[in-house]
């Protein structure tokens, strides 16, 4: 119980639905800069406690992401704990689950806005939007701005450029860049890296996703061996929590910069990487392109080229984070967190 109360966020809502077997968690971490916003993650979890913990960690990351990107939104996240793997749910079950989620969003009456995340996409936002006003990222066909993956990938690529420079390199030419997860974001990052002259290594649990990149010359690494594979830049674009303290102590890379939210399993992992001289781009800065796309297009009335103009500035933002960390003798994650927290508190 005490554990449940120990959170620095504002509110957590939990609901279980007997009929569908799904549990719903909405965590509002901060509404200081504006309504809380963050995607809806739909997957299975070993327990409701773990779903709540994940929603809270992810909501906190969203507060930092919005502040770091200078967007007028707070941080929140929804987790739908599914009764079984998404692929095994019938369309009917999924529609029922989404309709409960939409009603939950209406109950919060705009204190929290959602968008796509792992396990949900634009088409699901189209469904939510039939019941609630508080869903970002509807498909283009339904009048929305569509997927945020392109903006996220461009931002991650900008983050890789800044991080590689911090590691003493002038560019990506000839560097071994290992992309983990070749979904909407990772696949596009891989293409941008190859175009910039990087030597691409790729991995995905779905091996078919590697194929377009191997045709273009990439080397495939087994998903299980990824954190033992030598590379210059490790780019996690699959799930979070990929680097714990033990992996941090041995990871054979010089730079870590990726799209996944909460790449590091614990803060201790960043300290270990930092002590080994590995440059880590704080993920909530590196992957801010998606938030710029969704909030920029839906709230601020930006065009897609406005979004891109802001997204490439992630490179400069990270230059500043690295410079501040060096000057204050702290880690880049500490520097970026302090900068975002100052904005939230101000
Ligand atoms: P996606 O679902 O399209 O792609 C994820 C890919 O990772 C899939 O191809 C999947 O097979 C693969 N994968 C899963 N577990 C793996 C493992 N253990 N090893 C190797 N591959 C694995 O997701 P998307 O949209 O590309 O996002 C990637 C990551 O970036 C996610 O963690 C997401 O939360 C994060 N992110 C995405 C944003 C967006 O705009 N799409 C914005 C900010 C963060
Ligand atoms: N889920 C994505 C992220 O983590 C995109 C998103 C951004 C969704 C902002 C809602 C609001 O950045």
User: Which of 65, 77, 316, 327 is the catalytic position?
Assistant: 77
Ligand 2 center to residue 216 CA distance, Å?
30
Question: From the CA of 295, which ligand is nearest?
Answer: 2
What lies within 8 Å, CB to CB, of 1 at 6+ separation is none
Segments forming the whole domain that contains residue 161: 149-287+315-345
The ipTM estimated for the assembled molecules is 0.99
Shared-domain flag, residues 329 and 191: yes
Shared-domain flag, residues 86 and 208: no
C-alpha–C-alpha distance, residues 28 and 10, integer Å = 6
Q: What is the pLDDT along the chain (346 residues), one digit of tens a residue?
A: 455 667 899 999 999 999 999 999 999 999 999 999 999 999 999 999 999 999 999 999 999 999 999 999 999 999 999 999 999 999 999 999 999 999 999 999 999 999 999 999 999 999 999 999 999 999 999 999 999 999 999 999 999 999 999 999 999 999 999 999 999 999 999 999 999 999 999 999 999 999 999 988 999 999 999 999 999 999 999 999 999 999 999 999 999 999 999 999 988 999 999 999 999 999 999 999 999 999 999 999 999 999 999 999 999 999 999 999 999 999 999 999 999 999 999 8
Q: Which protein residue has the closest C-alpha to ligand 2 atom 7?
A: 291
Ligand 2 center to residue 121 CA distance, Å?
11
Give the pTM. Answer: 0.97
C-alpha–C-alpha distance, residues 40 and 21, integer Å = 17
Q: Is 77 a catalytic residue?
A: yes
Please indicate, yes or no, if residue 207 is contained in any of the structural domains: yes
Shared-domain flag, residues 90 and 21: yes
Shared-domain flag, residues 264 and 333: yes
Mutational pocket test of ligand 1: of 69, 144, 239, 257, the residue with most ligand atoms within 8 Å of the beta carbon: 239
SS3 label, residue 13? strand
Please indicate, yes or no, if residue 80 is contained in any of the structural domains: yes
Ligand 2 center to residue 18 CA distance, Å?
28
CATH number at residue 94: 3.40.50.10860
Please indicate, yes or no, if residue 295 is contained in any of the structural domains: no
Domain count, the chain: 2
Question: From the CA of 40, which ligand is nearest?
Answer: 2
DSSP string, 68-131: HTT-S-EEEEEEEE-SS-GGGS-HHHHHHHHHHHHHHHHHHTTSEEB-B-TT--HHHHHHHHTT
Please indicate, yes or no, if residue 120 is contained in any of the structural domains: yes
- 114 phi, psi to nearest 5 deg: -110, 180
Shared-domain flag, residues 108 and 165: no
Angle between helices 267-275 and 332-345 (to 10 degrees): 130
């Amino acid at each position: 119980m005490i554990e449940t109360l120990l959170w620095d966020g504002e509110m957590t809502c939990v609901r279980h639905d007997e009929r569908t077997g799904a549990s719903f968690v909405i965590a509002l971490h901060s509404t200081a800069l504006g309504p809380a916003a963050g995607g809806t993650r739909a997957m299975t979890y070993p327990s409701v406690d773990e779903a709540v913990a994940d929603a809270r960690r992810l909501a906190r990351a969203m507060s930092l992401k919005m502040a770091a990107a200078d967007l007028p939104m707070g941080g929140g996240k929804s987790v739908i704990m599914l009764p079984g793997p998404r692929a095994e749910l019938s369309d009917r079950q999924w529609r029922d689950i989404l309709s409960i989620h939409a009603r939950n969003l209406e109950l919060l009456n705009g204190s929290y806005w959602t968008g796509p995340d792992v396990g949900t996409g634009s088409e699901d936002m189209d469904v939510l939007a039939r019941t609630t006003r508080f869903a970002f990222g509807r498909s283009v066909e339904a009048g929305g701005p569509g997927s945020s993956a392109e903006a996220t990938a461009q931002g991650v690529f900008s983050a890789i450029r800044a991080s590689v420079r911090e590691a003493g390199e002038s560019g990506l030419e000839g560097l071994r860049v290992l992309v983990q997860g070749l979904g909407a974001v990772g696949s596009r990052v891989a293409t941008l890296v190859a175009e910039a002259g990087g030597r691409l290594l790729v991995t995905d649990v779905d091996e078919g996703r590697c194929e377009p990149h191997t045709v273009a010359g990439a080397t495939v690494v087994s998903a299980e061996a990824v954190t033992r594979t030598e590379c210059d830049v490790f780019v996690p674009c699959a799930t979070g929590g990929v680097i714990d303290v033990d992996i941090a102590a041995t990871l054979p890379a010089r730079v870590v910069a990726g799209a996944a939210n909460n790449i590091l399993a614990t803060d201790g992992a960043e300290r270990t990487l930092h002590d080994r001289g590995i440059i880590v781009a704080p993920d909530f800065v590196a992957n801010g392109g998606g938030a710029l796309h969704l909030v920029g297009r839906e709230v601020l009335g930006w065009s897609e080229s406005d979004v891109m103009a802001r997204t490439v500035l992630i490179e400069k933002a990270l230059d500043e984070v690295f410079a501040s960390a060096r000057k204050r003798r702290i880690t880049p994650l500490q520097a970026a967190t302090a900068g975002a927290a100052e904005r939230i508190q101000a």
